[in-house]
A and B are shown apart, each in its own frame.
Chain A
Amino acid sequence: QQPVQSPQAVILREGEDAVINCSSSKALYSVHWYRQKHGEAPVFLMILLKGGEQKGHEKISASFNEKKQQSSLYLTASQLSYSGTYFCGTEIPDSWGKFQFGAGTQVVVTP
């Protein structure tokens, strides 16, 4: 039931772009994105609601395709500070408040 994230890991050079995907086998009510630095707690990035809404945080944006039950996170012109593990969290209509997280995508941005 956990959403599936891909890729598992990505290595970027500063300034490069990357896409992280999150897909679910169930219809989604919302998708959340979080970033976790090593040894720290996950930190909220953004929420997307059904309707294909696209949001942004710094040069990080995301889209949500309700019909395909998937969301994508776009890291544009990556910075060293973007390094960390990115998690998508999903909420399904019949389990209000029960967020389920993907296994995470480790992002390493190098100089």
Chain B
Amino acid sequence: NAGVTQTPKFQVLKTGQSMTLQCAQDMNHNSMYWYRQDPGMGLRLIYYSASEGTTDKGEVPNGYNVSRLNKREFSLRLESAAPSQTSVYFCASTRPGGITEAFFGQGTRLTVV
């Protein structure tokens, strides 16, 4: 049982390049999330998806787009990367049925130069 899997683990981009961060969960969870983690700022919600086919903005959505491809996969796209998007990105999911804990992927460390 892999849980939440993120790819890639590390990435270096040049300013203006685009890329997609992939996330997949095999726990049959309904809700999925993308967070970014910066020093001293904790985890900030970028986008989340309550269920397949729905997405909603979080605290810091500017510069990002998401796709909930199916129940398992939730991708995060940077169309034109900027140095301010250098961060560690975490994907998370929660199971259905009310208030439950979030399961996190191992993170993607992204550097934009």
Contacts and interface: CB of A to CB of B under 8 A. Distances in A.
A81 to B, nearest CB: 19
Interface residues of B, number: 25
Contacts of B100: 47
Interface string A35-64: 000001111100101000000000000000
Interface residues of A, number: 26
B48 A42 contact: no
A103 interface: yes
Nearest to A43: B104
A47 B100 CA distance: 8
Given A41-B107, A44-B102, 7 more contacts: A2-B42, A42-B90, A47-B99, A96-B50, A98-B48, A101-B43, A103-B40
